[in-house]
């Protein structure tokens, strides 16, 4: 029995071993994408495959290279990521099918073009780079891409981004700021943000350059003042974001070396009191602002003298015989005293060049009013007394004050100007008038009490030396003749402080502009404290008989910083018909001219 069973088993094995093996390959075809289409991002490649025995797997090939992407169950579908391929590139897709007997077959090629240009994320722009507390705080715009993956913040030391580092990666789309502390704020840093989407498409934003940390702006010293407590220096608060300190610096007189008075590390402290100081010398102050990186900026120098510029000027004028009673003394001469003696004067004619060319005093030189100091200094080589001639004697009086305050103390004006030399130059006859006679603003009232205790004018200057201040004020005189028409003053005398420069007897006899003060000549001086009757907030109008003396006084007051004007042609322009003296009389004969 056992013998029969063994024979049966052997016969079965022979029958099985003699069956033919399966050599039939599967069939396969790509269904998507269609041949000749354009694809982007992740492409879903589908196919259909069949086999007489069974399909074990299908495998995606691209350009003849296995992609490693397979599918082992129907319906067959494989994802092909095109993000790494060049836009516009053409590729052949095939799918290889494997059956369970290791037979295989390839689909026909499907040709597609890759174009991801519309699929890239939108570029991200850096909106600000701000240096604060040792770091650059970098902010950028938020991505709006639905398949956002992450931001990369990249940094380079060169603007071409040849070599760069990724200093921060951020997977949260809402986080759009990073503080980079590995920096040198004194050299340029270059940043950009790259955004990558879920399929790996990556877009770089524009390169943004950090600003160099600025040197702190200089602060302005707002005020320096003195009191019994000391000298108070006040300055504006620094706007430096990385403020470190203020250093208060000081020097006396013309010292080059600055001394540190104090250092403040609190930005809100903006004043310093110097308690121990010499009030007889000039002081200079500076404020140095420093930042946390050691950069600093020095304020402009602020000079300070405990005495005001007015006090310094007036003391200098008294000490050097420039008070009014000296300057306005022996300052005028007549044509009769000059004719025949022209060689004894250095004569300056300040009329226009055309009028000078029509005729002038023999030996006279022509000069613009503003240039008279230069003219005298350049051409008066014999150091002769200076005689100034103008049209009427009034502008010349201004010029004479400028000359006398500049050291030409014997300078004089020609009375009545060239009107007293030749009939053709008569500028007086057309300017005499009697508008004050019977005018409502011409008064015979007693003089009002003089003002008293008025403040001194403020002279706007950085100079602290008396001689230098006076030279600057002489320039103010030569900036132009300061006159005003009588018709304007008599119409609205309340708009001015009007000073009548006559004696009290003439005041009573002739009357005066309503509201005018009677100022006796010779009393308006520095030495006798006579200036405290003048209100520096008003325009000081002085009038005399002819406008020549008032022109002298006006020029002198201008030097002191007052807003002063001379009433042109004086009483001759207001009450000419009533005058019994000091009145213009026209020439009847000319004097010799060149």
Task: Report CA torsion sign: 131, 137, 143, 149.
Answer: positive
Tell me whether residue 399 is exposed, middle or buried, using C-beta atoms within 10 angstroms of its C-beta: 0 to 12, 13 to 18, 19 or more.
Answer: buried
DSSP H or E run through 516: none
Confidence of residue 2 (pLDDT cuts 50, 70, 90): very low
Confidence of residue 546 (pLDDT cuts 50, 70, 90): very high
**SS3 state of residue 163:** coil
- Pick from 510, 512, 553: which is nearest to 530 by CA? 553
Superfamily of domain 442-578: Rhodanese-like domain (3.40.250.10)
pLDDT at position 16: 45
Confidence of residue 133 (pLDDT cuts 50, 70, 90): confident
pLDDT at position 378: 97
Q: Mean of the pLDDT values across residues 50-64?
A: 96
pLDDT digits (tens, 9 = 90+) for 441-451: 999 999 999 99
37-41, 213-217, 251-255, 460-464, range with the lowest pLDDT? 251-255
pLDDT at position 277: 84
Q: Mean of the pLDDT values across residues 350-360?
A: 98
pLDDT for residue 431 is more than 60: yes
Percent of the chain with pLDDT over 70: 97
Give the CATH fold of the 332-417 domain. Answer: Oxidized Rhodanese; domain 1 (3.40.250)
Two domains, one topology: 332-417 and 442-578: yes
pLDDT at position 15: 45
pLDDT at position 25: 95
Tell me whether residue 38 is exposed, middle or buried, using C-beta atoms within 10 angstroms of its C-beta: 0 to 12, 13 to 18, 19 or more.
Answer: exposed
How is residue 580 annotated by DSSP? Answer: S
Confidence of residue 19 (pLDDT cuts 50, 70, 90): low
pLDDT for residue 50 is more than 60: yes
pLDDT digits (tens, 9 = 90+) for 261-319: 999 999 999 999 999 888 778 899 999 999 988 899 999 999 888 888 899 999 999 99
pLDDT at position 253: 78
Percent of the chain with pLDDT over 90: 87
- Judge contact between 500 and 516, C-beta under 8 A: yes
pLDDT at position 97: 97
pLDDT for residue 13 is more than 80: no
pLDDT for residue 433 is more than 60: yes
pLDDT for residue 562 is more than 50: yes
pLDDT digits (tens, 9 = 90+) for 508-523: 999 999 999 999 988 9
pLDDT at position 80: 96
Q: For the chain, what is the mean pLDDT?
A: 94
- Pick from 174, 167, 211: which is nearest to 192 by CA? 167
Whole-number Cα distances in Å, 220 to 223, 231, 233, 300, 529:
9, 17, 11, 7, 36
Superfamily of domain 27-114: Immunoglobulins (2.60.40.10)
Domain segments of the chain as ranges: 27-114, 126-209, 221-306, 332-417, 442-578
pLDDT digits (tens, 9 = 90+) for 261-276: 999 999 999 999 999 8
pLDDT digits (tens, 9 = 90+) for 177-235: 999 999 988 899 999 999 999 999 999 999 999 988 889 999 999 999 888 899 999 99
Architecture of domain 126-209: Sandwich (2.60)
22-26, 399-403, 420-424, 470-474, range with the lowest pLDDT? 22-26
pLDDT at position 364: 98
301-305, 332-336, 556-560, range with the lowest pLDDT? 301-305
The C-alpha atoms of residue 299 and residue 234 are separated, in whole angstroms, by: 12
Pick the CATH number of 221-306 from 3.30.930.10, 2.60.40.10, 1.10.150.670, 2.60.40.1220: 2.60.40.10
């Amino acid at each position: 029995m056992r013998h029969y069973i063994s024979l049966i088993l052997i016969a079965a094995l022979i029958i099985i071993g003699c069956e033919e093996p399966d050599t039939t390959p599967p069939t396969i075809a790509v269904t998507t994408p269609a041949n000749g289409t354009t694809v982007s991002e992740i492409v879903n490649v589908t196919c259909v495959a069949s086999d007489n025995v069974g399909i074990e797997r299908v495998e995606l090939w691209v350009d003849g290279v296995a992609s490693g992407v397979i599918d082992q169950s129907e319906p067959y579908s494989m994802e092909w990521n095109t993000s790494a391929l060049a836009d516009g590139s053409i590729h052949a897709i095939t799918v290889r099918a494997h059956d369970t007997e290791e037979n295989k077959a390839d689909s026909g090629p499907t040709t597609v073009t890759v174009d991801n240009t519309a699929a890239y994320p939108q570029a991200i722009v850096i909106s600000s780079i701000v240096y604060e507390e040792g770091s650059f705080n970098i902010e950028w715009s938020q991505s709006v891409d639905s398949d956002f993956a992450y931001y990369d913040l990249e940094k380079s030391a060169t603007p071409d981004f040849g070599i760069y580092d990724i200093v921060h990666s951020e997977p949260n789309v809402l986080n759009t700021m990073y503080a980079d502390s590995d920096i040198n704020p004194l050299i340029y840093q270059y940043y950009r943000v790259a955004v990558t989407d879920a399929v790996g498409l990556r877009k770089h934003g524009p390169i943004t350059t950090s600003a160099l940390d600025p040197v702190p702006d200089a602060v302005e010293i707002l005020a320096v003042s003195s009191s019994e407590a000391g000298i108070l220096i006040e300055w504006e608060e620094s706007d430096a974001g990385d403020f470190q300190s203020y250093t208060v610096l000081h020097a006396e007189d013309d010292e080059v070396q600055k001394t540190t008075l104090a250092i403040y590390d609190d930005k809100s402290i903006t004043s310093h009191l110097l308690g121990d100081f010499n009030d007889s010398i000039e002081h200079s102050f500076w404020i140095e602002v420093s930042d946390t990186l050691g950069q600093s900026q020095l304020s402009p120098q602020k000079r300070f003298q405990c005495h005001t510029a007015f006090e310094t000027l007036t003391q200098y004028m008294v000490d050097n015989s420039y008070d009014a009673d000296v300057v306005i003394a022996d300052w005028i001469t007549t044509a009769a005293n000059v004719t025949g003696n022209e060689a004894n004067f250095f004569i300056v004619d300040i009329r226009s060049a055309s009028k000078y060319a029509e005729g002038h005093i023999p030996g006279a030189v022509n000069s613009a009013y503003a240039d008279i100091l230069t003219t005298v200094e350049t051409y008066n080589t014999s150091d002769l007394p200076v005689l100034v001639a103008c049209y009427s004697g009034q502008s010349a009086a201004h010029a004479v004050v400028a000359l006398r305050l500049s050291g030409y103390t014997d300078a004089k004006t020609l009375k009545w100007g060239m009107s007293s030399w030749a009939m053709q130059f008569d500028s007086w006859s057309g300017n005499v008038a009697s508008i004050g006679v019977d005018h409502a603003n011409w008064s015979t009232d007693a003089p009002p009490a003089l003002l008293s205790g008025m403040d001194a004018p403020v002279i706007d200057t950085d100079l602290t030396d008396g001689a230098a201040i006076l030279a600057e004020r002489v320039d103010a005189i030569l900036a132009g003749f300061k006159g005003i028409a009588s018709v304007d003053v008599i119409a609205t005398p309340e708009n001015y402080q009007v000073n009548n420069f006559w004696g009290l007897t003439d005041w009573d006899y002739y009357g005066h502009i309503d509201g005018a003060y009677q100022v006796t000549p010779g009393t308006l001086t520095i030495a006798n404290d006579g200036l405290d009757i003048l209100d520096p907030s008003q325009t000081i109008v002085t009038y005399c008989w002819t406008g020549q003396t008032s022109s002298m006084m006006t020029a002198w007051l201008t030097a002191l910083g007052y807003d002063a004007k001379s009433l042109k042609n004086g009483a001759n322009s207001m009450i000419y018909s009533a005058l019994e003296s000091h009145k213009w009389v026209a020439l009847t004969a000319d004097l010799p001219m060149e």
